[in-house]
């Protein structure tokens, strides 16, 4: 087991955004998390990375899988920088980069973080650390931005920023990569490139992917977990999940019912869950 959560719960006031989720991920898997808006997907990521502290439950992480050389650690109360150093890195639904730095520096500074005490060497010039640059350059080649290395990040196109999001997450040498809607806002032609990048990255990383594009999810995932109102309602291979009745209900019937009987209450829950997500993802509408 690479990652394991037990009864993971997050409440915002009276609203439960993530509700008793028992989830486990094997090393090397690509598991997608799907669910309607406000299902608690991003909140789930925020709990795993320590941005939010769980109200209840626990998270355990074994960086090299079960029986590996590194022991499993409890990261329930870990801070974001601690989970990052433990090996969990993420990309963001809303682009969250270092806007005025060069593309190369974005990745380089992330690579530097995972190299222990290098960042505290006040007296050494940053150019002396060639290995940081080498790693960053290799990652830029992998995500197809090698030609843009010196470009100021805020001048990139939206699609390029989405790739760089993944690049910055990769720079920390993650054991587990959490990708939060990597295709959000990407044009239909651009999606194929992002999907290719995800498949490439998944070949040598364990990946959890939040995605709304269900067709794409069915294609790339080894496994799909479905969240609905914070609860894990289905978890299994894509074909099983596709036929699952509870999932159909959540995606189709759920919406129908929401508009009639319990519409008010549900909409409120969505808004609150979204609010939590916005606060953590740096503002802007999802």
Partner 1 sequence: MIVGFALYPLAYEALLATPAAPFAEAFLPAITFMVVVLYTGLFAMSFDFISGYTGYLSFGHAAFYGTGAYFVVLAANGQVPGIPGGTPFMITLLLGAVVAGLLALVIGSVSFRLTGVYFAMITLGFAQVIYELIRSWGYVSTNPTEGATVSGDALAIGVPYVDALSLDVGRLTGESVENLLGLGIDLSTTVVSYYALGIVVVGCYFAMQRILHSPFGRVMIAIRENEERARAVGYPTYRFKLAAFAISGFFGAVAGGVFAAYSRSVAPDGTFYFLVTADALITTIIGGFGTLAGPVFGTLFTQGLEDVLSTESGGVATLLREGLPANVLEADLFGVSLELFVNTAVDGRAPLYLGIIFVLFVLFVPNGILGTLRDRLGGTVGKRLPDYLRRYRR
User: Do the strands 15-25 and 3-12 form a parallel or antiparallel pair, or are they unpaired?
Assistant: antiparallel
| DSSP bridge partners of 4 | 24, 60
64 and 241 Cβ atoms separated by less than 8 Å: no
Give whole-number Cα distances, 65 to 61, 120, 175, 185, 221, in Å.
8, 30, 9, 34, 19
- In the bound state with partner 1, the residue whose beta carbon lies nearer, of 5 and 46, is 46
The one segment of 5-13, 124-132, 136-144, 269-277 that binds partner 1 by CB under 8 A: 124-132
What mask of x and - would describe binding to partner 1 in positions 63 to 82, judged by CB under 8 A?
----------------xxx-
Residues binding partner 1: what is the number (CB under 8 A)? 39
Q: Does 85 bind partner 1 (CB under 8 A)?
A: yes
- In the bound state with partner 1, the residue whose beta carbon lies nearer, of 153 and 221, is 153
Spatial CA neighbour of 89 closest among 201, 169, 180, 208: 169
Q: Does 97 bind partner 1 (CB under 8 A)?
A: yes
Spatial CA neighbour of 182 closest among 195, 173, 172, 201: 195
Q: Which of 69, 120, 189, 264 binds partner 1 (CB under 8 A)?
A: 120
Q: Which of 4, 118, 222, 258 binds partner 1 (CB under 8 A)?
A: 118
- In the bound state with partner 1, the residue whose beta carbon lies nearer, of 122 and 261, is 122
The one segment of 114-122, 194-202, 251-259, 262-270 that binds partner 1 by CB under 8 A: 114-122
C-alpha 16, offset from chain centre? 20
- In the bound state with partner 1, the residue whose beta carbon lies nearer, of 1 and 126, is 126
For residue 116, what is the DSSP state? G
The one segment of 89-97, 136-144, 192-200, 213-221 that binds partner 1 by CB under 8 A: 89-97
Taking the C-alpha atoms of residue 213 and residue 99, their distance in angstroms, rounded to an integer, is 27
What mask of x and - would describe binding to partner 1 in positions 136 to 175, judged by CB under 8 A?
--------------------------------x--xx---
Q: Does 261 bind partner 1 (CB under 8 A)?
A: no
| Binding residues for partner 1 restricted to 4-63, rule: CB under 8 A | 49, 51
Q: Does 275 bind partner 1 (CB under 8 A)?
A: no
Please provide residue 17's backbone torsions phi and psi, each rounded to the nearest 5 degrees.
Answer: -85, -35
Half-sphere exposure of 171 (CA within 13 A, CB side): 32
Q: Does 248 bind partner 1 (CB under 8 A)?
A: no
Q: Tell me if residue 164 falls in helix, strand or coil.
A: helix
C-alpha 186, offset from chain centre? 17
* Least spacing, CB of residue 245 vs partner 1, in Å: 37
C-alpha 60, offset from chain centre? 17
Residue numbers at the binding site for partner 1 (CB under 8 A): 49, 51, 79-81, 84-85, 89-90, 92, 96-101, 105, 108-110, 112-114, 118-127, 129, 132, 168, 171-172, 282
């Amino acid at each position: 087991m690479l990652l394991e959560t037990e009864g993971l719960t997050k409440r915002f006031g009276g609203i439960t955004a993530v509700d008793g989720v028992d989830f486990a991920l094997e090393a090397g898997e690509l598991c997608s998390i799907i669910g309607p808006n406000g299902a608690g997907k991003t909140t789930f990521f925020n709990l795993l990375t320590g941005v939010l502290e769980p109200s209840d439950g626990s998270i355990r992480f074994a960086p090299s899988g079960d029986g590996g050389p590194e022991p499993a650690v409890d990261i329930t109360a870990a801070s974001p920088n601690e989970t990052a150093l433990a090996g969990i890195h993420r990309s963001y639904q809303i682009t969250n980069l270092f806007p005025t730095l060069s593309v190369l520096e974005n990745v380089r500074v992330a690579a530097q973080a995972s190299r222990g005490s290098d960042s505290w060497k006040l007296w050494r010039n940053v150019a002396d650390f060639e290995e940081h640059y080498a790693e960053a350059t290799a990652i830029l080649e992998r995500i197809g931005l090698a030609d843009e290395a010196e470009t100021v990040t805020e001048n990139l196109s939206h699609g390029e920023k989405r790739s760089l999001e993944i690049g910055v997450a990769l720079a920390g040498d993650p054991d587990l990569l959490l990708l939060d809607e990597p295709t959000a806002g990407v044009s239909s032609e651009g999606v194929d490139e992002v999907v290719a990048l995800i498949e490439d990255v998944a070949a040598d990383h364990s990946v959890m992917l939040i995605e709304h594009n269900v067709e794409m999810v069915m294609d790339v995932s080894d496994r799909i977990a479905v969240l609905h109102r914070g609860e894990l309602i289905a978890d299994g291979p894509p074909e099983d999940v596709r036929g699952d009745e509870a999932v159909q209900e959540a995606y189709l019937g759920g919406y129908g019912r929401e508009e009639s009987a319990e519409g008010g209450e549900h909409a409120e829950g969505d808004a609150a869950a979204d609010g939590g997500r916005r606060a953590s993802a740096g503002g802007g509408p999802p």
